[in-house]
Structure 1
Amino acid sequence: MEIGAKEIELIVREVLAGIESRGPKLSYIPAQSDNGVFERVEDAIGAAHTAQREWVEHYRVEDRRRIIEAIRMTAKSHAKTLAKLVWEETGMGRFEDKIQKHMAVIEKTPGVECLTTDAISGDEGLMIEEYAPFGVIGAITPSTNPTETIINNTISMIAGGNAVVFNVHPGAKKCCAHCLKLLHQAIVENGGPANLITMQKEPTMEAVTKMTSDPRIRLMVGTGGMPMVNALLRSGKKTIGAGAGNPPVIVDDSADVSLAAREIYRGASFDNNILCLAEKEVFVMEKAADELVNNLVKEGAYLLNPMELNEILKFAMIEKNGSCEVNKKWVGKDAGLFLEAIGVSGHKDVRLLICETDRNHPFVMVEQLMPILPIVRLRTFEECVESAVAAESGNRHTASMFSRNVENMTRFGKVIETTIFTKNGSTLKGVGIGGEGHTTMTIAGPTGEGLTCARSFTRRRRCMLAEGGLRII
């Protein structure tokens, strides 16, 4: 799915070996682009660097607001087309759900409104602190939410006064190029600078190396797997990293079980479970287990029997070096295709497969990004918490719980330490899809920025006017 750990390590070694000294000169004049899409990453970086200087020197914050609104309008008018292109190129997820994801990032990604100014006026003068741009940002995007991430990052990053050079996942390069061209055209047609957002047409590992070593790129942002994020953190660049998740759900014996089933079904089946924040495994107290399983089936889930579960496990996971890894060929595929593969017909429209397992089953412990939801019965709440923490594996990404017991919810929230913690609702609500708050596709748990917005991609700068300046009291 994402850039491999070994490949990333090679990049880091090259960077740390001193590749900076061989980087392009700041005076390099970039070639012309096709609406922000370049043949060479050096040209994409050079053009973005020029555009960013123009963006901060000749455009007001109100211009940013106006151009971002034009981006929203353009993306909104092409949301269905983009969703279809992603679905066709990646072969993952569900077309109708991708439309929802696009609309969420279009409508609920904050722009310049979150760049507030703090001021202190006193006898010693006037102090203001504002959010200023980093400059040029290098952004690595995933195949699971490719164009959604480009739209989300573009709005957030240019709102902060930055330019962006994208390095997209090779498995989504066509839809990403199409999306970037649309947004680029919207920027230019509304008076913005050309090449404020750029990318290399053919994404390569060499391009990532050049991005991490080029002095004109001041910040790296990685959305995807943990090997990529960890490698960027070791590259020497300031990095914002959005890594993997394996979100657990706890259903305790006080929960509204019918609500739990409805919300879990919605989240776990959404876009075939390829969102990192989606419910990946459920730990339910024995008292509520039968009712939960029955209600999930009523919602439309297909309950796998032990034999069917084992047959699917054989091809959905690959054993490697004594552990299990996801078979990437099956990531994001429709639930009905899994059933067809084991000879179960007549369930083409099924959106979610559920199964009962023990707490150490591969489908519990490995983030599988498939519409398969393991359910583990446990006797006590303490066992549920312990198992959920083990399955989440310290990613600190997302967790959820269904309960009427505030003390239980508080205890679990403190122990799990996730960036997103939803109570009595689908984890989709944690990113504003059906819930309050803004939307982002870059959830920076590993580096601590959390649910990113324009403010996340800025530097805090202080300006001081001394000697009581401007005070009138």
Structure 2
Amino acid sequence: MELLDKDLVSIQEVRNLIAKAKIAQKRLSEMSQEEINKIVKAISDAGYENAEKLAKMAHSETGFGKWEDKIVKNTFASKVVYESIKDVKTVGIINEDKALKVLEVAVPMGVVAGLIPSTNPTSTAIYKAMIAIKSGNSIVFSPHPNAKNCILETVRIISEASVAAGCPDGAIGCMTVPTMQGTDELMKHNDVALILATGGSAMVKAAYSSGTPAIGVGPGNGPAFIEKSANIKLAVKRIMDSKTFDNGTICASEQSIVVEKEIEDKVVEELKNSGAYFVTEEQSKKLEKFILRPNGTMNPQIVGKSAEVIANLVGIEIPKGTRVIIARENRVGHKVPYSKEKLCPILAFYVEDNWNTACERCIEILNNEGAGHTLVLHSENQEVIREFALKKPVSRLLVNTPGALGGIGASTNLLPALTLGCGAVGGSSTSDNIGPLNLINIKRVGYGVRELEELRGTKSQSVESACTVSNEEDLINVLVEKIMQKLNK
């Protein structure tokens, strides 16, 4: 009987993909570290070789960002991520502490469900496939419907390369008929061990509600605080570079600028010199109505669009060549659009009396949305940096670097990743930049080093002697010595 219902087709396809992935994962779990590394290298090479092609496909299909920047993201996902994980032990005994007599053994989780967003579709698929295979897991992707074709092509390219390198067929699979019901089946299937969820809040919430262990990431809403000791020119350059990179589609990109009153004029002047446009009060009110939909979520029409395109959509005039639109703001709240995540070149601008009140403002912004994710600090004052590190509810405090590139580990030495955990405060199961070690369980082997008498504090001399015996010959010698002592008495 032919299935004509799209949801039923999607559900059946998911079941078939999982069945193949389960068989493939069994074979992966029996491979050596060298065999696994060879496959991961093949995925990396294939992603790198097709970086431009896939970038152009993603831009053409989604309309988000800049294809030139998507090449950088694909290159990052394939080459930079690979270099960071290539020497990591993920098979067999991965650690041995001879002094404590403890062994750690890597155990793959099984079949991973990979949820892929439309904002970073091809790069996220490459990255998730690599860390899944590196840890001995298979992966089945649920592509965002608006980026289905470029994700399917990415999966085809890296899957073929992996099979040619010895990977079992079916270890990297992807839904061709993505529906909500099909994705729900993928997340709740008994043979799926873990969900890697990257996307909107609703998707992440669904992943955590599925009953399957999940690693999900919430929204980013990182403020950038420019403290008075900062190199203002360099701080502004970094913020502008970050917010215009792929038109702000990376969730770690800055969403607001917070400055001290003392340096306000200098920062504003530098921002204007760098291509930022401060909207008038009338323009600001018109723009803020366009940022959010009636249900309070981000308007998809602004995502990944340039400043000029957004201005045309809204019907406001901005200077030609404007790179970033900035609106002055003094409010924070769920109904204050500028204080929320905006995956496009729009920034809120807050002015505070001093760094202490600026610190509190940043916390208020993060608690409104984006808690646990990222904050950017531009400062040369080590005391301020330490205070921010101690007090801010984020998993990543980025100092003197672009937020978008620093958060993913491109311009910092954080683990290169395209899935950024937000910790418990952000509703996530981890605060890590997600890598292969997050996708394995660790079996621990512990050798006995103490006897019950020692734990009770009543260890006898004979037990003490026996505990120090290292072989059978030594044991015989100890027993003979004890017998001779008794005979001599």
CA contact 1:272–1:351 (8 Å) conserved in 2: no
What residue in structure 2 maps to residue 78 of structure 1? 50
Deviations 1:271-307 (A, max 9, x none): 1111110000011101111111111121222232222
Whole-Å separation in 2 of the counterparts to 1:351 and 1:38: 44
Whole-Å separation in 2 of the counterparts to 1:46 and 1:135: 12
Whole-Å separation in 2 of the counterparts to 1:386 and 1:127: 45
Change (3 A) 1:415 1:86: same
Which fold has the larger relative contact order, with Cα–Cα distance below 8 Å and residues 6 or more apart in sequence?
1
Match of 1:366 among 340, 345, 359: 340
What residue in structure 2 maps to residue 18 of structure 1? none
Cα drift, residue 39 of structure 1 = 7.3
What residue in structure 2 maps to residue 53 of structure 1? 26
Q: Between Structure 1 and Structure 2, whose CA radius of gyration is higher?
A: 2
**TM-score after normalising by structure 2:** 0.83
Match of 2:415, SS state, is: coil
Q: Please tell me whether residue 89 in structure 1 is matched to residue 71 in structure 2.
A: no
Q: Which residues of 2 match residues 13-92 of structure 1 at below 5 A?
A: 40-57=13-30, 59-92=31-64
**TM-score after normalising by structure 1:** 0.85
Whole-Å separation in 2 of the counterparts to 1:355 and 1:132: 50
Q: Which residues of 2 match residues 416-431 of structure 1 at below 5 A?
A: 416-427=392-403, 428-431=405-408
Change (3 A) 1:97 1:378: same
Deviations 1:4-47 (A, max 9, x none): xxxxxxxxxxxxxxxxxxxxxxxxxxxxxxxxx99711111000
Match of 2:363 among 364, 389, 413: 389
Whole-Å separation in 1 of the counterparts to 2:228 and 2:316: 37
Change (3 A) 1:386 1:61: same
Q: Say how many residue pairs are matched.
A: 427
Cα drift, residue 259 of structure 1 = 1.4
Q: Which residues of 2 match residues 330-349 of structure 1 at below 5 A?
A: 330-341=302-313, 342-344=315-317, 347=320, 349=321
Change (3 A) 1:235 1:383: same
What residue in structure 2 maps to residue 244 of structure 1? 219
Deviations 1:111-131 (A, max 9, x none): 352337221335xx9531022
Match of 1:114, SS state, is: coil
CA RMSD in angstroms comes to 2.2
Whole-Å separation in 2 of the counterparts to 1:231 and 1:291: 45
Whole-Å separation in 2 of the counterparts to 1:365 and 1:303: 16
CA contact 1:71–1:187 (8 Å) conserved in 2: yes
CA contact 1:261–1:295 (8 Å) conserved in 2: yes
Q: Please tell me whether residue 276 in structure 1 is matched to residue 262 in structure 2.
A: no
Whole-Å separation in 2 of the counterparts to 1:151 and 1:263: 27
Change (3 A) 1:414 1:226: farther
Amino acid paired to 1:246: N
Q: Which residues of 2 match residues 195-234 of structure 1 at below 5 A?
A: 195-234=170-209
CA contact 1:64–1:112 (8 Å) conserved in 2: no
What residue in structure 2 maps to residue 457 of structure 1? 439
Whole-Å separation in 1 of the counterparts to 2:343 and 2:257: 15
Deviations 1:190-211 (A, max 9, x none): 2221111111101111112222
Whole-Å separation in 1 of the counterparts to 2:420 and 2:340: 19
What residue in structure 2 maps to residue 133 of structure 1? 108
Whole-Å separation in 2 of the counterparts to 1:376 and 1:449: 27
Gaps of at least 5 residues in structure 2 are 1-9, 423-427, 450-466, 472-489
Amino acid paired to 1:106: S
Cα drift, residue 314 of structure 1 = 2.9
CA contact 1:364–1:391 (8 Å) conserved in 2: no
Whole-Å separation in 1 of the counterparts to 2:297 and 2:104: 47
Whole-Å separation in 1 of the counterparts to 2:291 and 2:97: 58
Identity of aligned residues (%): 27
Gaps of at least 5 residues in structure 1 are 1-36
